[in-house]
Structure 1
Amino acid sequence: MWAFDLTFGLGLALAAYVLLTPARRRWTVLLGGLALASPGLRWVTAVFGFPIRLQLSAWVVAILQALGADATANGNLIRLNGVDFAVDPACMGLQMTGLSALTGLFLIIHLENRTRTYLSFGWLTGVAGGVGMLLILTNLLRILALVIFRIAPENPLHDAIGIACLVVYLLIPLTWGLPRLYERVGKPRPPVLGLGWTRLAMLYGLMGLAGFGVVQRSQPNSSVTFPIPAGYTKKQLENGFSQYSKTGSLVYIKPVRTAYSAEHSPAVCWRGSGYEFGKIEEELIGGHRVYSGTLQRGRERLYTAWWFTNGTCRTISQFDFRWRMLRGEPAFGLVNVTATRPDALTDAVQRWY
């Protein structure tokens, strides 16, 4: 059944608004360039969304501890006075980035139409940075409120608090601050579209096409080679993935196509198989630093861990392995080990690491 996507709908509404107002002279080309570059935004979300969730969890716990609460963080799982709360990627607050960007764009374009002035590229960059900081603050306070008041995702107040935080900490500051910024630093709007904006839009478009067209095709889908422990049965899957299995243990090796590609994170793929993550954290298993988590589907419970390797270097850092690939080191792959018991997971990690 088709479901309405609020962000997509608002994006279409914004495009219609731009085309029907004088702002189209300045914004049509730029928004077109941003649309071409939108795969880059999705890539950033896919690559860095998980570390951001971990950092938000750590900040929330630090605030709670400063207030004297008994709080700890195990990855994306926050425990307050014995009650657990998971910072899940499907949470409403972590999906507000697109909505916030559209809101900021609408306010800027509306003010340009109303005041017949515009902001320079430098000031627009500053506004974008400010919106980003307000969005982080909004998410932080939203999660803090949900944890303190123990509001579960199925509670109607869960979404209500998210909307309230968005209004109070993002929309009100923007609607108060942007008009005053235009009054102070706004420049008279030129009668025609400036070449600078055209070039900027073209640059965005070229970046999108190059990064997700030419670059993807110019680098082959390299496989990761390293010794395979005995006793595992191999099955070759699509997209260059390999599956290795034996009783009580399942291993996936997923090549990362290029330094620019988003990896197939277990946090996403296992959900596609109907499992829910109860906890995700960085930990040492058998002396090896990995990401780990628990999986639940009905009464079935699994234990999983993953890291990146190119056969010689092993890391859990997105920045580390991507930088190494950019410098010409062999391609990396994601190794995801899953077992039915914690001790079996430890044994499998030691065998595959």
Structure 2
Amino acid sequence: MWVFDLTFLMGLALAVYVLLTPARRRWMAVLGGLALASPGLRWLTTVFGFPIRLQLSAWVVAILQTLGADATVSGNLIRLNGVDFAIDPACMGLQMTGLSMLAGLFLVVHLENRTRMQLSFGWLVLVAVGTVALLILTNLLRILTLVVFRIAPEDPLHDLVGLACLSLYLLVPLTWGLQRLYSRVGKPLPAHSGRVWVRLAAVYGVLVLAGFGVIQRSQPVTPVAVDVPSGYVSRQLDHGFTQYSKTGSLVYVKPVRTAYSAEHSPLVCWKGSGYVFGAVAEKVIDGHRIYVGSLQRGRERLYTAWWFTNGVQQTIGQFDFRWRMLRGEPAFALVNVTVARPADLAKTVREWY
């Protein structure tokens, strides 16, 4: 897709720029580390992208309500003056995270080449933190603009607004701040810098990535005991997943391998099956919080809900169930209930909760 292609092209351009300039001694190891760490970055996006999107939606509505607008939020669905606006899972806001970080890295490398000065590791960490803060602000203002002016995802202005916000609220202040930072706290580049750093960064990057993958895959899948209502037919799937089905209902129980493994989110799995998510929201059924959403593929429409359970505790919080697993509590599984009729969703959830 377009934003993905733009991010790829910018990453390629940055690699070429670094290779053709003196910065390659210091920064090629960093670029290599980012390439090696890309699975981890995808993990972070998979795990925390959805909660972040819900929080941004809530903040946008809070701002609109402060300004006196008639606005409400239900999950990723914002209603302004009676008009609904869904924050799409594939929205440009989350996709431009990589683009923003690449832009920040390009500015740092360019200023280092131009000034022959460098920032200490501590300052570079602060620059990364500042870039993330600006990115959150940029996404917040972008969503606010799209909602206020009712710019739908299929409108060409949707991507243009995203790029305009990226330039105005992230690139401009980042460029201004970095120029002053280099002039005030930058230190001259030492001669022959980077050789030891290159080797250490490459070795550490490979070891960390390999260790993360090996440890995660070496852990056995722990089955989670769930009470199966009568009438369901079970089927074992790969990765320790179990499918339960009966007429009008389909349930997946997907164990989470470790506290740091990415779960197989319905937001990803159903999309891979050709479905498009509509509104997604938190809902309370009998005192239990769950996520609910609608799915559509052509004329077919389904209704789905999901949560995490270890047979004792139920939650929808990513930090909650992962922290419990780290503390030694039984492993959790994702339970995803899907029905053909909206009236059956609450009933089916109660059966499985």
Taking structure 2 as the reference length, what is the TM-score of the superposition? 0.95
Separation in structure 2 between the aligned mates of residue 17 and residue 160 of structure 1, nearest angstrom? 26
Separation in structure 2 between the aligned mates of residue 99 and residue 139 of structure 1, nearest angstrom? 13
Report SS of the residue matched to 1:336: strand
Stretch moving more, 4-13 or 59-68:
4-13
Report what 1:309 is aligned to.
Answer: 309
Q: CA deviation at 1:224?
A: 1.6
Report SS of the residue matched to 2:250: strand
Asked if the contact 1:30/1:198 (under 8 Å) is kept, the reply is no
Separation in structure 2 between the aligned mates of residue 101 and residue 231 of structure 1, nearest angstrom? 51
Asked if the contact 1:19/1:28 (under 8 Å) is kept, the reply is yes
Q: CA deviation at 1:320?
A: 1.3
Stretch moving more, 123-132 or 232-241:
232-241
Structure 2: runs of 5 or more not aligned: none
| Amino-acid identity (%) | 72
Report SS of the residue matched to 2:130: helix
Report SS of the residue matched to 1:96: helix
Separation in structure 2 between the aligned mates of residue 181 and residue 239 of structure 1, nearest angstrom? 49
Report SS of the residue matched to 1:152: coil
Stretch moving more, 52-61 or 262-271:
262-271
Determine if the alignment matches structure 1 residue 149 to structure 2 residue 154. Answer: no
**Which AA in structure 1 matches 2:208?**
M
What's the RMSD between the two structures over aligned residues?
1.9
Asked if the contact 1:303/1:340 (under 8 Å) is kept, the reply is yes
Report SS of the residue matched to 1:274: coil
Stretch moving more, 14-23 or 28-37:
28-37
Report SS of the residue matched to 2:52: helix
Q: CA deviation at 1:232?
A: 0.3
Determine if the alignment matches structure 1 residue 247 to structure 2 residue 247. Answer: yes
Report SS of the residue matched to 1:305: strand
Separation in structure 2 between the aligned mates of residue 30 and residue 153 of structure 1, nearest angstrom? 35
Report SS of the residue matched to 1:328: coil
Q: CA deviation at 1:305?
A: 0.7
Q: CA deviation at 1:208?
A: 2.1
Asked if the contact 1:37/1:209 (under 8 Å) is kept, the reply is no
Report what 1:69 is aligned to.
Answer: 69
**Which AA in structure 1 matches 2:68?**
G
Measured against aligned partners, the alpha-carbon deviations of 1:141-178 in whole angstroms (never above 9, x if no partner) come to 11101100111111111111111101111111122221
Report what 2:86 is aligned to.
Answer: 86
Separation in structure 2 between the aligned mates of residue 201 and residue 82 of structure 1, nearest angstrom? 54
Separation in structure 2 between the aligned mates of residue 322 and residue 58 of structure 1, nearest angstrom? 24
Separation in structure 1 between the aligned mates of residue 64 and residue 2 of structure 2, nearest angstrom? 40
**Which AA in structure 1 matches 2:140?**
L
Report SS of the residue matched to 1:5: helix
Separation in structure 2 between the aligned mates of residue 128 and residue 18 of structure 1, nearest angstrom? 19
Report what 1:119 is aligned to.
Answer: 119
1:1-353 alignment, distance < 5 Å: 5-194=5-194, 195=196, 199-200=200-201, 202-211=203-212, 213-353=213-353
1:4/1:33 CA distance change after superposition, 3 Å: closer
Separation in structure 2 between the aligned mates of residue 85 and residue 265 of structure 1, nearest angstrom? 23
Stretch moving more, 332-341 or 62-71:
332-341
Stretch moving more, 222-231 or 1-10:
1-10
Q: CA deviation at 1:109?
A: 0.5
Structure 1: runs of 5 or more not aligned: none
Separation in structure 1 between the aligned mates of residue 128 and residue 142 of structure 2, nearest angstrom? 21
Report SS of the residue matched to 1:37: helix
Measured against aligned partners, the alpha-carbon deviations of 1:192-227 in whole angstroms (never above 9, x if no partner) come to 23546754554444322221x221132112222222
Asked if the contact 1:224/1:332 (under 8 Å) is kept, the reply is yes
Asked if the contact 1:242/1:253 (under 8 Å) is kept, the reply is yes
Asked if the contact 1:97/1:135 (under 8 Å) is kept, the reply is yes
**Which AA in structure 2 matches 1:288?**
H
Measured against aligned partners, the alpha-carbon deviations of 1:117-163 in whole angstroms (never above 9, x if no partner) come to 00001110111111101111111111101100111111111111111
**Which AA in structure 2 matches 1:245?**
S
Separation in structure 1 between the aligned mates of residue 297 and residue 217 of structure 2, nearest angstrom? 37
Separation in structure 1 between the aligned mates of residue 12 and residue 137 of structure 2, nearest angstrom? 27
Separation in structure 2 between the aligned mates of residue 3 and residue 23 of structure 1, nearest angstrom? 27
Asked if the contact 1:290/1:316 (under 8 Å) is kept, the reply is yes
Separation in structure 1 between the aligned mates of residue 67 and residue 180 of structure 2, nearest angstrom? 36
Stretch moving more, 19-28 or 190-199:
190-199
Asked if the contact 2:26/2:197 (under 8 Å) is kept, the reply is no
Instruction: Report the number of matched residues.
Output: 352
**Which AA in structure 1 matches 2:325?**
M
Separation in structure 2 between the aligned mates of residue 278 and residue 39 of structure 1, nearest angstrom? 27
**Which AA in structure 2 matches 1:214?**
V
**Which AA in structure 2 matches 1:134?**
L
Report SS of the residue matched to 2:34: helix
Taking structure 1 as the reference length, what is the TM-score of the superposition? 0.95
Stretch moving more, 85-94 or 49-58:
85-94
**Which AA in structure 2 matches 1:208?**
L
